Structure 1
Amino acid sequence: MTPEEMETRIVRYGDLKPCRTAFIDAHTPGSDHKENFTIIGGGVSESPDQHVHIKDTPGFNIGAAGQPPKCRNSLHSHRTAEVFYVLKGRWRFFWGRWGTAGEVVLEEGDIFNIPTGIFRGFENIGTDYGMIMAILGGDDAGGGVIWAPQVIEDAKDHGLVLGENGVLYDTKKGQTLPAGVCPMPLLSDAELSAFPEPENDKVVRDYVARYWDMMALAAKRPCQVIGETGLLKDRPGFEVEFLTRGSLPENAYKLSAHEILMVMRGHWKLGWAGGEKTLAPGDTCAVPPGLEHTLVPAMSGEASLFRVMNTADKAGPTWTN
């Protein structure tokens, strides 16, 4: 593989292209300044304007959300995994039918494997623009987003209508639903009753891992964060590991799985027989299966990254033992 070919498999943080109309709440006050990014795979964007950096998926999707202070993402649910880690800022995640069942605050480097089948939302509670990176289960990311009814109703009041085909139409731009396409129906009370509202302590205990805990656990070997034996025991169709300078293989290695490197802190050198690339915080690199390579920090100081690998497990609801 040439350096030029490898560069096509790297999405640089500084090259990310945002979409400001990706979801139904794009015009709703309080949510109208967020930016969404699709890094690997199409994600769950409802807008044809969303730019996709790498279209081929390794069994899961990689995306990101950027928001200024006090901006929030509205209550929604997914049928497959939605995992976030905080790259920049301080974020509050909340869940439940009205967003009042529980909440947790995440700092930089913390990771949250949000249980499938619950309504969830999040907001930037920091003092500057924040960024969270996302891993979504499945090649098609579970078939889209399920919105809480009040989100759809609020969006309609501000000019955005979601069709039953999963596409957004902006009435402020004169767009209307195509012939034969009805608006996305609201969930009934019976359907809403099927969405659980887990207790706060259980969610924080079983689905959240803290950055400095992972740093300590990865001092000598990779820390499995999400997996059957991970800190957050789950089998959503992928595994997540956390690596520091002390947990890296001493020699060149190769994997049979797709290996997605997502840099948290520090600069890293990725080397292979055809060349070398440097990865910076916020960069995402898709290392192809079977490529023998080395991975080392490029300089002294704090260095950490998340490594995501596809598995044979079905991308479905959160697994519990």
Structure 2
Amino acid sequence: MTDWTREQMAQRLVRYADLVPCRTAFLDTRTPGSTEKENFTIIGPGVSESADQFVHITEKHGFNIGAARQPFGCVNSQHSHDTAEVFVVHSGHWRLLFGPNREDGTLDIAPGDVVSVPTRMFRGFEKVDQGLGFLYTVLGEDDPGKVTWAPAVFEAASDYGLKLTKDGMLIDTSAGDYTLRDTELAAPIDTDNVEELVTPPLEKLLECIVRAGTAVANPDSPLAGEGVEEAGVIGPRATDDGFAAGPIAGWWPHGFNLRQLTLQTGAFIPSHARREVEVLFVQSGTLEVRWGDESLLLGAGDTLSVPVGLYRSYRNTASVPAVVFVTRGTDNPARPVFAA
């Protein structure tokens, strides 16, 4: 199919400059050290607890795309997820903090690193260098559920008048926007349940990270060609399009593949279609996406959701390599179908 208009495709493009942040997305939004963070829901619904959260693309993809932007010293408090949470470091240096009270160790990550934090364990993250940093995130499933906060986060939030309803929505008791007798509040997780959310040993967590520059190109990728490399990053299993499992496979479900696509200057991927949803995130450089007689030019930080079945080609039109992280919505992507 090539009958998507440029205007329709532009609705599936979220440019970095057009991202709409939410500063009241979560329970810790008033906790000192966390007040300056910005949360983004790019492909929803995400896990935001605020009715103020803007969702850029509401169409179901089988996974969610979001992001966080934070200045130096800003902390995202300790929480746990029931579905996959993947971080792609677009900019800045970050420290992942493990354990309900940050007592289980840390892992530093830098631009180009990818880490998939296991489900059902407490994690937080802190921006550790000067300036703003941007984390691109992929969350598993259409409905990733709500986060589970560490007890200390509940306690700190309560001191600033913030509570959660049982269905996971944030309310501000200091503003008088609720009546207690009409609202069933969520309770902090109890001690027994906290103890079930165990942090794996650090050597196990190191199986969950791919450092920038270490992803190994697959010469058997159907997209590989002159100046074009595709490397597996997250792959729960061997796939029909010629990739082995890993290097991040995980012992918990992902439901998607994450690949790193690199195009040198002038490199071109011919027109092809895919059977699964595909989301492009430009880590660096520029990428021209062309379908029929139309095209869009993507820059660093831009996200594009490509329609299933659309024949499209990719070209790097700039003088520096284009590095693109590609999320495909299945454990087992099929081989692309190239145009005749």
Specify the SS of the correspondent of 1:5.
Answer: helix
Indicate if the aligned counterparts of 1:35 and 1:65 stay in contact, CA closer than 8 A. Answer: yes
Quote the residue 1:259 is aligned against.
278
Pairing of 1:233-272 with structure 2 (within 5 A) = 233-234=249-250, 235-245=253-263, 250-272=269-291
Q: 1:279 to 1:98 in 2, by over 3 A?
A: same
| 1:94 counterpart = 2:97 | yes
Residues 30 and 164 (structure 1 numbering): CA distance in 2 closer, same or farther, change over 3 Å? same
3-state DSSP of counterpart to 2:60? coil
SS at match of 2:280: strand
Letter in 2 for 1:29: P
On the 8 A contact 1:75/1:151 being kept in 2, the answer is yes
> CA contact under 8 A between 2:264 and 2:321: conserved in structure 1?
no
Q: Is the 8 A contact 2:217 2:230 kept in 1?
A: no
- Residue pairs, 1:310-321, within 5 angstroms: 310-311=329-330
Aligned to 2:214: 213
Q: TM-score, normalised by structure 1?
A: 0.92
Select between 15-24 and 99-108 the one with higher mean Cα deviation: 99-108
The CA distance in 1 between the partners of 2:122 and 2:185, in whole Å, is 21
1:291 to 302, 310, 331: 310
Q: In structure 2, which of residues 224, 248, 256 is the aligned counterpart of residue 232 of structure 1?
A: 248
Say whether the 8 Å CA contact 1:24–1:162 is kept in structure 2: yes
Contact 1:97 1:197 in 2 (8 A): no
Matched pairs, number: 311
Cα distance in 2, alignment partners of residues 300 and 308 from structure 1: 25
* Deviation (angstroms), 1:312: 5.8
Residue 100 of structure 1 and its aligned partner are, at CA, apart by: 1.8
SS at match of 1:222: strand
1:139 aligns with 142
Asked if the contact 2:228–2:268 (Cα under 8 Å) also holds between the matched residues in 1, the reply is: no
Q: AA paired with 1:284?
A: T
| Mapping of residues 115-134 of structure 1, within 5 Å | 115-134=118-137
In 2, Cα distance between the equivalents of 1:222 and 1:155?
44
8 Å CA contact retained: 1:177, 1:183? no
Cα RMSD (Å) of the superposition? 1.8
Change (3 A) 1:293 1:43: same
After TM superposition, the score normalised by the length of structure 2 is: 0.87
Mean CA deviation greater in 233-242 or 116-125 = 233-242
2:24 to 21, 24, 29: 21
Q: CA distance change for structure 1 residues 183 and 296 in 2, over 3 Å: closer, same or farther?
A: same
Output the amino acid matched with 1:194.
E
Residue 274 (structure 1) shift? 4.1
Alpha-carbon distance, 1:187 to partner:
1.4
Q: 2:203 aligns with which of 198, 201, 204?
A: 201
In structure 2, distance between residues paired with 1:111 and 1:298: 26
CA distance in 2, matches of 1:195, 1:9: 37
Tell me the CA shift for residue 178 of structure 1: 5.6
Unaligned runs of 5+ in 2: 220-226, 238-244, 333-340
Say if 1:27 and 1:155, in contact at 8 Å, map to a contact too. Answer: yes
Paired residues of 1:38 and 1:62 also in contact (CA < 8 A): yes
CA displacement, residues 174-218 of structure 1 (integer Å, 9 cap, x when unaligned): 2235644322112111111111121122212x1010111127678
